[in-house]
Amino acid sequence: QVQLVQSGAEVKKPGASVQLSCKASGYSFSDFHIHWVRQAPGQRLEWMGMINARFGDSTYSQKFQDRVTMTTDTSTNTVYMELSNLRSEDTAVYYCARFRIVTGGRFFDYWGQGTLVPVSS
């Protein structure tokens, strides 16, 4: 069955960087894009960006453009997301999600379990 398993919670200080991983299994890894979505406490879901798992090309939200890097490792079926220069507002649960494209639609059909990243001095 399709699974996306994310790395564990990380506590970070302001100014630090965090790298999260998302390991895929149960499907052909290279055939789907992986997106990252975050949710700060009490806030709406927020799209951060996406990566082509096969070729590694990525598209980022302008909000995170200068601080986020997404990479892919096809040998381990793992996608990574690094967010730098963390601030308290980055405290959130971070999700990876598989992007499915069908005729007339595009949506996230499988999600990781989420990774909590508290940012505090």
- Does residue 121 belong to the site contacting another protein (CB under 8 A)? no
* Helix, coil or strand: residue 17: coil
Residue ranges in 43-82 that form contacts with another protein under rule CB under 8 A: 44-47, 50, 59, 61-63
- Does residue 1 belong to the site contacting another protein (CB under 8 A)? no
Please identify which residue in 32, 35, 83, 119 interacts with another protein, judged by CB under 8 A.
35
Token output for 57: 């090309």
- Does residue 107 belong to the site contacting another protein (CB under 8 A)? yes
Smallest gap from Cβ 15 to another protein, in A, equals: 25
| Cα-Cα-Cα-Cα dihedral sign, residues 107, 4, 113, 50 | negative
Smallest gap from Cβ 75 to another protein, in A, equals: 26
Task: Indicate the residue among 13 and 106 with the shorter CB distance to another protein.
Answer: 106
Smallest gap from Cβ 98 to another protein, in A, equals: 11
Residue (of 26, 44, 48) closest to 109 by Cα position: 26
CA-CA distance, 61 to 108, in Å (whole number)?
A: 17
CA-CA distance, 104 to 117, in Å (whole number)?
A: 35
CB 35 within 8 A of CB 99: yes
Chain centroid to CA 92: 12
- Chain residues that interact with another protein, rule: CB under 8 A: 35, 44-47, 50, 59, 61-63, 95, 97, 102, 104-109, 111-114
